[in-house]
A = this chain, B = another copy of it.
Amino acid sequence: MREIEERKSVRRYSAEAIEKTKLDAILGSARLAPSGHNKQPWHFIVVADAGKREEIAMASNQQRWMASAPVHIVCVADIRARTQNAEPMYVDEESPSFELKRVIRDTAIAMSHILLEARHQGLDTCWVSWYDQKEFRPLLGIPEDKFVVGVITLGYADEAPAPKPRKRMEEILHYERW
A122 within 8 A of B: no
**Secondary structure type dominating chain A contacts:** mixed
Choose one: B28, B97, B105; the contact of A169 (CB below 8 Å). B28
A178/B115 in contact, CB under 8 A: no
B101/A140 in contact, CB under 8 A: no
* Closest chain B residue to A24, Cβ basis: B169
| Cα separation A46 to B172 with both chains bound (whole Å) | 11
A173 within 8 A of B: yes
Q: How distant is A10 from chain B, measured CB to nearest CB, in Å?
A: 11
Copies per complex of this chain: 2
Q: Inside 8 A of A43's CB, which chain B residues have their CB?
A: 172-174, 178
| Cα separation A113 to B115 with both chains bound (whole Å) | 11
Q: How distant is A34 from chain B, measured CB to nearest CB, in Å?
A: 6
Given A3-B1, A29-B4, A42-B172, A178 and B93 contact (CB-CB distance below 8 Å): no
B1/A120 in contact, CB under 8 A: yes
Given A32-B7, A96-B96, A101-B93, A44 and B116 contact (CB-CB distance below 8 Å): no
Q: How distant is A98 from chain B, measured CB to nearest CB, in Å?
A: 4
* Closest chain B residue to A163, Cβ basis: B32
Which residues of A from 24 to 42 have beta carbons under 8 Å from B? 27-34, 36, 38, 40, 42
* Closest chain B residue to A26, Cβ basis: B1
| Cα separation A170 to B52 with both chains bound (whole Å) | 22
Q: Inside 8 A of A96's CB, which chain B residues have their CB?
A: 94-96
A49 within 8 A of B: yes
| Cα separation A1 to B32 with both chains bound (whole Å) | 11
Pairs across A and B, CB under 8 Å, 11 listed: A4-B113, A7-B32, A9-B34, A31-B167, A44-B173, A45-B174, A46-B176, A47-B176, A48-B175, A52-B176, A105-B105
